[in-house]
Amino acid sequence: MNTLKSIPPQKTTVLESESVVVRFSGDSGDGMQLTGMQFSDTAAFLGNDISTFPDYPSEIRAPIGTVAGVSGFQVHFGSKEIFTSGDEYDVLVAMNAAALKVDLPRLKKGGFIIANTAGFDKKNLGLAQYHDGINPLEDDTLSNYTVLQVDVTRLTKEALADSGLGTKDIERSKNMFVLGVLFWMFDKPLDHTLKFIEEKFVKKPEVALANEKTLRAGWIYGENTEIFNTQFKVSAAKLPAGEYRSITGNHATAIGLIAAAEKSGLPLFLGSYPITPATDILHELSKYKANGVKTLQAEDEIAGICSAIGASYAGNLAVTTTSGPGMALKTEALGLATMLEIPLVVVNVQRGGPSTGLPTKTEQSDLLMALHGRHGEAPIPVIAASSPSDCFEMAYEACRISVEHMTPVILLTDGYIANGSEPWLFPTEDKLAKISVKFLDKVNSDNDVLLPYKRNELLVRPWIKPGTKGLEHRIGGLEKQNETGNVSYDPKNHETMTKLRAAKIEKIADHIPLAKPDSGKEKAKVLVLGWGSTAGSIKTAVRELIADGNDVAHIHLKYINPFPKNLGDLLKGYEKVLIPEMNCGQLLQLIRAKYLVPAIGFSKVQGLPFTTPELKAKIKELL
């Protein structure tokens, strides 16, 4: 994809590129996430399209210097549209030997390595388990790459020699030196990060000053040191005009929920128990007290969903957020919400499973659980976000469907898009869809009897808030008599109610967008059908194949239960259907079962997103 094109030689070579991938890699305590975010934000502000991918260990501070403790942050930025965080990187920043060891395999041949030499001393080499006497910076291990050795630790110390700061604080500033070097390399100004430093350390001016000094020292080092003779130039991308911000998936989910609450006029309630990688939604929503958002950190996952059920019963827009293991614990309560027919939004930020699995790695393996993971016949709408900013739209949709159709809704995102970020052409309030909510305020039958389970044309029952005079009634998990909602063990009634609950969910298909190809046409030799966070990889692969003249198309599903009404007809337009998923073929089963299409699966369960070459190779097999 992005080949680095040389511009006529001068003292500093400037390479122009359509897109570049940089990987920041270091110890968990080296500040790589922050460094990466600063670099990404600066690129975004300057008009590049970007996609980021934080890749960190589940241990907060694994033993320093070890392979287990390596924390990475990858950013893909370009002058063209960027849909993934990049398969291989052009530049690897390795703060120590372990970082190099972990991340070297995915550095492009001929790529750049910026190595912090202090991280390659005898101790660090030992911790990274390089054999005695072997130092990759000194032998021919890296002969295929351009290696820029920088003693970041010493240079930072020198820059801060008269700062009066202790060794620990000085040591902590070294990521700023690296960032300064990178800003020089990519010809980016320091302004954004300088402002960030000023704001972050407003109460510690001496630390702010030290960070600023180190950042500038890094930039100057890049400019003045002979080993740095290459600069990259990535021009601004031609993105749709408008006002942008940078956003991660979890952040987008949080404000999607707030937006839905504001637009529906309902107070927002979150009942949640901390779990990776979903916790940031709880963090984010906890900040919005001034907007009346109530967040309850529950004693466990079950209390998370149950408190939300209680809040919904009392008339709030109620949400619970979790990841796989928590989802498993919530299943009984999901059945209750289905039986009560009350709104409830459940966000599952998927991670590698089963059990504790890969807490910080991504996977799409909870799809069938979302659809079927309850006892009894308990259909629940399932929708999925396809990118960080799409989490906003789908969180908003989850709320809309939930309150308008009186049903729990499961929103699936995953670790990749939850933590990844991208520029977002955010909407203004007036552009958001209407969400209509009406609470029953008087008896809904002619004979003065309240019928809590009397349905409207959408087969939806009324929402009745406790505190409403004259509508006192009881609901519960026992089967209900049609319309009256009274407990009923009548066999025929149970079947009627089971079918009504299912028909209500099916009817949602009339109120969601139809499916359409994201790339390619409505008829083609091969359709690549995806869902969730694979959108970027599939889009990149399919567009490149189409550009090369291949007969291929891409449809991305955001609504999985119910499916868009036209999906069955649409599928008939393709000779072959390929379904890539980060699981062992879950959407595949659903599509085959529902549409009797001999779809072909392509699965990856490595805790990592698909790469473009992987997808292209598989698609080509079918062309």
- Cβ partners under 8 Å of residue 554, min gap 6: 517, 518, 519, 520, 527, 528, 529, 530, 538, 539, 542
Query: Rounded to the nearest whole angstrom, what is the least distance from the CB of residue 292 to other proteins in the complex?
Result: 6
Please give, one letter per residue, the 3-state secondary structure of 407-426: CEEEEEEEHHHHHCEEEECC
| Stretch of 108-116, 256-264, 377-385, 609-617 lying at the interface with other proteins (CB under 8 A) | 256-264
Nearer to other proteins, 70 or 247 (CB): 247
Query: Of 7, 227, 478, 503, which lies in the binding site for other proteins, with binding defined by CB under 8 A?
Result: 478
| Per-residue CA distances from 248 to 160, 291, 370, 393, 574 (Å) | 34, 21, 23, 13, 34
- 467 binds other proteins, rule: CB under 8 A: yes
- 125 binds other proteins, rule: CB under 8 A: no
CA distance 45 to 223: 23
175 neighbors 114 (Cβ within 8 angstroms)? no
Q: Is 476 exposed, middle or buried (0-12, 13-18, 19+ CB in 10 A)?
A: exposed
| Per-residue CA distances from 234 to 4, 37, 75, 193 (Å) | 10, 18, 13, 19
At 554 the three-state DSSP class reads strand
- 239 binds other proteins, rule: CB under 8 A: yes
Smallest CA-to-CA distance from 177 within 31, 338, 278 is with 31
Query: Of 176, 285, 336, 403, which lies in the binding site for other proteins, with binding defined by CB under 8 A?
Result: 336
- 201 binds other proteins, rule: CB under 8 A: no
- 314 binds other proteins, rule: CB under 8 A: yes
CA distance 596 to 461: 34
Query: Rounded to the nearest whole angstrom, what is the least distance from the CB of residue 359 to other proteins in the complex?
Result: 22
Query: Rounded to the nearest whole angstrom, what is the least distance from the CB of residue 406 to other proteins in the complex?
Result: 15
Query: Rounded to the nearest whole angstrom, what is the least distance from the CB of residue 194 to other proteins in the complex?
Result: 13
- 228 binds other proteins, rule: CB under 8 A: no
Per CB under 8 A, which of residues 407..446 are in contact with other proteins? 426-429
Q: What is the CA radius of gyration of the chain?
A: 27
- 241 binds other proteins, rule: CB under 8 A: yes
Query: Rounded to the nearest whole angstrom, what is the least distance from the CB of residue 34 to other proteins in the complex?
Result: 15
Query: Rounded to the nearest whole angstrom, what is the least distance from the CB of residue 99 to other proteins in the complex?
Result: 29
- 486 binds other proteins, rule: CB under 8 A: yes
Query: Rounded to the nearest whole angstrom, what is the least distance from the CB of residue 340 to other proteins in the complex?
Result: 7
Per CB under 8 A, which of residues 525..584 are in contact with other proteins? none
- 236 binds other proteins, rule: CB under 8 A: yes
- 510 binds other proteins, rule: CB under 8 A: no
Nearer to other proteins, 111 or 315 (CB): 315
- Cβ partners under 8 Å of residue 476, min gap 6: 339, 340, 487
Residues paired with 24 in a beta bridge: 73, 93
Is-cis flag, bond preceding 354, omega within 30? yes
- 385 binds other proteins, rule: CB under 8 A: no
| Stretch of 214-222, 288-296, 436-444, 590-598 lying at the interface with other proteins (CB under 8 A) | 288-296
Nearer to other proteins, 263 or 554 (CB): 263
Query: Of 32, 115, 340, 542, which lies in the binding site for other proteins, with binding defined by CB under 8 A?
Result: 340
